[in-house]
Chain A
Amino acid sequence: MAEVRTVEAGLRIVGQPVVRHDARDKVQAATAYAGDWAMAGMLHAVVVRSPYPSARIRRIDMTRANGMKGVVAVLTAADVPRNTLWTDVPGQTTEVGPLRARLHVLAEGRVRHQGEPVALIAAETEEEARAASEAVDVDYEPLPGVFDPDLALASGAPLVHEGSNLLAHWRVARGDVDLAFTRAAVVVEGEYRTQFVDSSYLEPESGVAWLDSDGVITIRLSTQVIEHFRDVAEVLAVPQNRVRVIGTYLGGGFGGKEDVTVEVYLGLLVLRTGRPVKMVWTRQESLLARAKRHPYVMRYRTGASASGEILAHDIALLSDSGAYAYLSALVLLYSTVTAAGPYRVSNVRVDARVAYTNNPPTSAMRGFGAMQMVFAYESQMDRVGRALGLDPVRVRQLNALRRGDILPVGQVIETHVALPELAARAWAGLGERPVPRAAHVRVGRGLACNFQPYGRIVWLHDWSSAWVGFEMDGSLVVRCGAPDVGGGQASSLCQIAAEVLGVDLDRVSIHISDSALTPLAGTTTASRQLYMSGNAVLKASRELREQIVAVAAPMLATDAAAVRLEAGIALAPDGHTLPLADILRQCARVGVSRSHLGVYHAPAGEPVDFEKGQGKVFPDYTFGAHAVDAEVDTETGVVRVLKHVAAHDVGRAINPQSVAGQIQGGAVQGLGYGLMEEVVLEDGINMTTSFASYLIPSAAEAPDVEAVVVESGEGLGPFGARGIGEPPIGPPAAALANAIEDATGARVSTLPITAERVARALGLVPP
């Protein structure tokens, strides 16, 4: 037997800033992204899209396109076996009724937004496919459209779909709002407007599909949701077990790859041609056609007592779904639940509506309806504090939710809320107040807090599964259907398995994101993957550990409870050790399984009536506080962020380096949202379809965000972790607006906070 090894107490791998296996691959371009794939005989496909935001299709003539060199297939709606994609949206309000979000794969007689797919082309080369796409003759009759949700809900507005332009309507009523306002010492009213923005991951939508040798249509693509294999099967009218989706490591997702992208088109073209087909959207196409973040108009009336206690919120929200429902109703639900912010407020009224328009569709994007609210409620909180002479930290600490408090929708907060500590640490992290560098420059500092759900709505009965197994040599394999969007999802799962089963990280390999070969884990969305699949891997690993340890104990002449597994060795208290490989051989001899499938079910519940306000909506929330120092040029209105400290309670940092990366990256996306990003539409026509016109932060615009990682251990994820994918994008825009008011006395209530808007707020140019 081997010598006794010295082992450290506590965790060896979880909680360490370990190097991610995928980083090593990516830095040498060894990772094969969805577009980095080619096959013999592969066709290239493009989508023909509508140039009009609202039009009738009188006729589509494919004669010219079909006759062009290299063209193999041209498809329109008539060629699609089942041309409708359906998404159930549970828990709708009674006014609109249960919603099945509906979308045509290819337009049928009518287009409702610019960029709507009308036809598909597959050709021998990409150039030939593009040339043929110009030769599809579509006879459009332009129709009146509606491009503003307010106008869309007015009587007589052009209808985007039959019935009504109202897509969803949620209401919350808690306490006696009107009475509470009569008791308020200060009432603050504000109207806040946010814009359409784009995910702008660096990797555009892309994939390759083929008919595999087993007759299964296999689609290898960049997706956050491999479960869309079912949608592909429904559209193709083939059994669901005849479609396989292999999800690649993504070149970014941010929600933009949650709805279907290229997979249905690829499936259709493989079905039609029998040949491998590749589709890669251009950046211009991605900016034109991919769903955007919802713009909001948020009207807030907030009453507070003289001591700064928030007594009441009266909130009206209106959002723009664009031409199709996608996930708009659920996005609005997130807004409704979080509209009062991470604060204890007894009297809250929320009236939230989302309308169809002929703008580009809006859907999931990092923060999912909760992040827009932060701009409104944190502007309001700041103004309340200012009106009462309370400093920004104090007014938030005074009102912060605590364990046991009840949200306006009736959900009880069951875990620790670190908000007071987060606010104090973010604020203190700014240090000395910076000195303006010139007479015309003013500096100010701003704070904004937020909370963001992680995990899916409890009445969706979320679950994840993962398989963990040993090879005979003691190396470990994890199989889990979770897509890795770049946040280190796969690597964190490896850490958890390695920790529990006592193997070194370089002895773990993981297979992810394959609908045929990995246990399904659900979507990499909603900040849920570490929480859900982390728990599934933890469960599988713990149960596998029990199986292994039961065999090891007699070999080590000790009790199972006394066996430790570390660094590929089993140890007994008396110092005896055994290599794992010896134990695994013994498992094979006595017929004990060396693998385990773990299934994790999240806490579940039934849909709640918000107006009656009693029930749980989300499993739990992640809290955060960001503080910024900003300088404002009072001659030009140009704003520059000088310092940014971002604090979040992540429960437990499985990989502190990945956690800091999520916080820094999310914060800079939030600054882009706050300062510069905007999809500009003119009557439904997108004016920002290139990276030269749709501007995202470069290194030159991004401050070095300092991440403050607080670990309360209170999360529902593995080892007490909370989701951290989405939360950091929430606070920056509000923190900036608050810093600008601190610097200049002027408030900007419309995003993005461009120099022009600041100049207007400063009175430098007429409003």
Chain B
Amino acid sequence: MIVGFTLNGRPREIDVPPSQTLLRTLRDTLGVFDAKEGCSEGVCGACTVLLDGRPVSSCLVLTPTARGRRVLTVRGLERAGDLHPLQTAFVEHGAVQCGFCTPGMVLTALAFLEQRPRPDREEIRAALAGNLCRCTGYAKILDAVEAYVSGRRADG
């Protein structure tokens, strides 16, 4: 079936089996490897993308569900060649080790901060509990998100 959606602002139209997941469509049909496959059962969060701004596990979303909607991966955050300030915070605070969870983690955090721009550390912790990381122990990820939040606050 033909499905059209925008991927990182660009319209895409593809022919996919109706039962194909968005994760498979991105990785196998479109060759876009930004979302990672960690468990394919909606537990680890590595495949998180934003669908109309809301985080979803793309391994659980069938591609036809995305018809006419906006799909954002971590590559869509870049502006004029610069990293998004939250990405910069991840890099500078050592929140990235193996990096396999990072794209999903960044997107989940961003979507959460849209809903709740001034969270405290415990709220951030709860918001990221659906994205597993096996390397960092989470502390530096929370540091990065907190630093981004307070940097934004400082900017007004």
Interface flag for B66 (CB, 8 Å): no
Which residues on B sit within 8 Å (CB–CB) of A251?
36, 98-100
Nearest-neighbour CB distance to chain B for A19, whole angstroms, equals 6
What residues of chain A lie closer than 8 Å to B93, measured between beta carbons?
657
Query: How long is the Cα–Cα vector from A288 to B46 in the complex, in angstroms?
Result: 20
A700 is an interface residue with CB less than 8 A from chain B: yes
For residue A23, which residues in chain B have a CB less than 8 angstroms away from its CB?
Answer: 90-91, 94, 96, 99
Residue-wise, chain A 14-30 has the 8 Å CB interface mask toward B (1 for contact) of: 00010110111111110
Q: Are B137 and A486 in contact (CB under 8 A)?
A: no
A204 at interface, CB cutoff 8 A: yes
- A282-B40, A283-B41, A690-B39 given as contacts; is B31 within 8 A of A254 (CB)? no
Let me know if A485 and B98 touch, CB within 8 A: yes
A385 interface hit (Cβ, 8 Å): no
B143 smallest CB distance to A (angstroms): 9
Closest Cβ neighbor of A702 among chain B residues: B138
Assembled-state Cα–Cα distance A254/B98 (Å): 11
Q: Is residue A704 within 8 Å, beta carbon to beta carbon, of the partner chain?
A: yes
Candidates B39, B99, B103; contact of A249 at CB < 8 Å: B99
What is the CB-to-nearest-CB distance from B90 to chain A, in angstroms, rounded to a whole number? 5
**Docked complex Cα distance between A203 and B99 (Å):** 10
Which candidate, A438-446, A451-459, A662-670, is the interface stretch facing chain B? A662-670
What 1/0 flags go to B45-80 for Cβ under 8 Å of A?
Answer: 010000000000000000000000000011101100
A487–B137 touching, CB < 8 Å: no
Q: Are B98 and A203 in contact (CB under 8 A)?
A: yes
B129: chain A residues within 8 A (beta carbon):
698-700
Query: Which residues of B from 13 to 61 have beta carbons under 8 Å from A?
Result: 27-28, 31, 33-34, 36-41, 43-44, 46
Query: Complex Cα distance A38/B31, Å?
Result: 8
Q: Is the CB of A665 within 8 A of B39?
A: no
Q: Are the C-beta atoms of A486 and B97 separated by less than 8 Å?
A: yes
List residues of chain B with CB within 8 A of the CB of A28: 74-75, 77-78, 83, 87
Interface residue A411 (Cβ < 8 Å from any Cβ of B): no
Count of chain A residues with a beta carbon within 8 Å of a chain B beta carbon: 57
Residue contact B94 to A658, C-beta cutoff 8 Å: yes
Counting chain B CB atoms within 10 Å of each CB, the highest count among A17, A29, A31, A705 belongs to A29
Evaluate contact between B44 and A665: CB separation under 8 angstroms: no
A46 to chain B, nearest CB (A): 14
The reply to whether B96 and A20 form a contact with Cβ atoms under 8 Å apart is yes
Question: In the bound complex, do residue A27 and residue B106 qualify as a contact, i.e. CB atoms below 8 Å apart?
Answer: yes
CB pair A486 B139 closer than 8 Å: no
CB contact under 8 A between A698 and B132, given known A667-B137, A691-B41, A704-B139: yes
Q: Which residues in A have their C-beta under 8 angstroms from that of B125?
A: 699-700
B118 to chain A, nearest CB (A): 19
Q: How far is the CB of A703 from chain B (nearest CB, A)?
A: 8
Q: In whole Å, how far is A127's beta carbon from the nearest beta carbon of chain B?
A: 9
Q: Is the CB of A393 closer than 8 A to any CB of chain B?
A: no
Residues of A within 8 A of B92 (CB): 19
**Is A196 in contact with chain B by the CB < 8 A criterion?**
no
Q: Tell me, yes or no, whether A36 is within 8 Å of chain B by CB.
A: yes
Taking a contact as CB atoms under 8 Å apart, the answer to whether B91 and A24 are in contact is yes
CB nearest to B46 among chain A residues: A202
CB closest residue in chain B, given A203: B100
Contact B43 A690 (CB under 8 A): yes
Across the interface, do A202 and B134 meet the contact criterion of CB distance under 8 Å?
yes
Q: Is B33 touching A202 in the complex (CB atoms < 8 A)?
A: no
Interface residues of A in 698-714 (CB under 8 A from B): 698-700, 702, 704-705
B33 to chain A: which residues have CB within 8 Å?
29, 32-33, 35-36
Which residues of the other chain, B, contact A705 by a CB distance below 8 angstroms? Answer: 137, 139
Q: Which residue of B lies closest to A23 (CB)?
A: B96
A166 close to chain B: CB less than 8 A? no
Check B135–A486 contact: CB distance below 8 A.
yes
Asked whether A696 is an interface residue with its Cβ less than 8 Å from the other chain, the reply is yes
Given contacts A691-B43, A692-B43, A27 and B97 within 8 Å (CB-CB): no
Q: How far is the CA of A23 from the CA of B40 in the complex (A)?
A: 25
**Which A residues are in CB contact (< 8 Å) with B39?**
283, 690-691
Q: A28-B74, A486-B99, A690-B41 are in contact. Are A202 and B91 (CB under 8 A)?
A: no
Q: Which residues from chain A contact B31 at a C-beta distance below 8 Å?
A: 38
Given A200, A203, A664, A700, which contacts B126 in the complex, CB threshold below 8 Å?
Answer: A700
The reply to whether B96 and A29 contact each other, CB–CB distance below 8 Å, is: no
Q: B133 on the interface (CB 8 Å rule)?
A: yes
Cβ–Cβ < 8 Å partners of B101 in chain A: 202
Verify B137–A668 contact, CB threshold 8 A: yes
Interface membership of A651, Cβ < 8 A: no
Bound CA–CA A203/B31 (angstroms):
18
Q: Which residues of B contact A615 (CB under 8 A)?
A: none
List of B residues within 8 angstroms of A669 by Cβ: 134, 137
Bound-state CA distance A690–B44 (Å) is 10
A27 and B74 contact, CB distance less than 8 A = yes
Q: How far is the CA of A35 from the CA of B32 in the complex (A)?
A: 12
B110 within 8 A of A: no
Contact A698 B73 (CB under 8 A): no
B74 A29 Cβ-Cβ under 8 A: yes
CB-CB under 8 A from A200, the residues of chain B are 134
Q: Does B149 contact A (CB under 8 A)?
A: no
- A110→B152 CA distance, assembly (Å): 62
A140 at the interface (CB under 8 A from B): no
Measured CB to CB, the nearest residue on chain A to B19 is A127
CA A90 to CA B98, docked complex, whole Å: 32
Known: A19-B91, A702-B138. A696 touches B132 (CB 8 A): yes
Chain B residue at minimal CB-CB distance from A691: B43
Point out the residue from A252, A488, A660 that lies within 8 Å of B100, measured CB to CB.
A252
Separation of A156 and B101 alpha carbons in the complex (Å): 48
A454 CA / B125 CA spacing, docked (Å) = 33
| B97: A residues at CB distance < 8 A | 486-488, 661, 665
Chain A positions 471 through 493: 1 when the CB is less than 8 Å from some CB of chain B, otherwise 0: 00000000000000111100000
Q: Which B residues touch A204, using CB under 8 A?
A: 37-38
Of listed A202, A660, A704, residue having the most chain B CB within 10 A: A202
Give the nearest-CB partner of A661 in chain B: B94
* Chain B: minimal CB distance from A100 (Å): 33
Query: Which residues of B sit under 8 angstroms from A664, Cβ to Cβ?
Result: 136-140
* Binary flags per residue of B114-125, CB closer than 8 Å to A gives 1, else 0: 000000000001
Contact check: which of B90, B128, B134 meets A252 at CB < 8 Å? B134
Complex CA distance for A249 and B106, rounded to whole angstroms: 19
Interface members, chain A 642-673 (any B CB < 8 Å): 657-658, 660-661, 664-669
Question: Which one of A283, A485, A665 lies within 8 Å of B38 (CB-CB)?
Answer: A283
Nearest chain B residue, comparing its CB with the CB of A32? B33
Q: Which of A126, A486, A660, A698 contacts B98 (CB 8 A)?
A: A486
Q: Is A75 an interface residue (CB 8 A)?
A: no
Contact status A27-B102, CB under 8 Å:
yes
* Residue in A31, A199, A202 whose CB lies within 8 Å of B44: A202
Q: For A36, give the chain B residue with the smallest CB separation.
A: B33
Residues of A within 8 A of B137 (CB): 661, 664-669, 697, 702, 705
Q: Is A552 on the interface with B (CB-CB < 8 A)?
A: no
Contacts of B28 in A (CB 8 A): 38, 126
Is residue A280 contacting chain B, with contact meaning CB distance below 8 A?
Answer: yes
Of listed B46, B101, B135, B141, residue having the most chain A CB within 10 A: B135
**Residue A225 CB within 8 A of the other chain:** no
Provided the pairs A203-B98, A251-B36 are in contact, do residues A29 and B41 lie with their beta carbons within 8 angstroms? no
Contact assessment for A699 and B75 in the assembled complex, using a CB-CB cutoff below 8 Å = no
A665 to B129, CA, bound (A): 16
Supply 24 A–B pairs (Cβ within 8 Å), ascending by A: A20-B96, A25-B99, A27-B90, A27-B99, A32-B33, A35-B33, A126-B28, A199-B134, A202-B133, A250-B98, A251-B99, A283-B40, A487-B97, A660-B140, A665-B135, A666-B137, A668-B137, A669-B134, A696-B132, A699-B141, A702-B139, A704-B138, A704-B142, A705-B139
- Seed contacts A26-B98, A28-B74, A698-B132; 12 additional CB < 8 Å A-B pairs: A19-B91, A20-B94, A28-B78, A200-B134, A201-B100, A202-B132, A280-B37, A283-B38, A486-B135, A487-B135, A661-B97, A700-B129
In order of increasing CB-CB distance, the 5 nearest A-B pairs are A486-B98, A26-B99, A251-B100, A668-B137, A36-B33
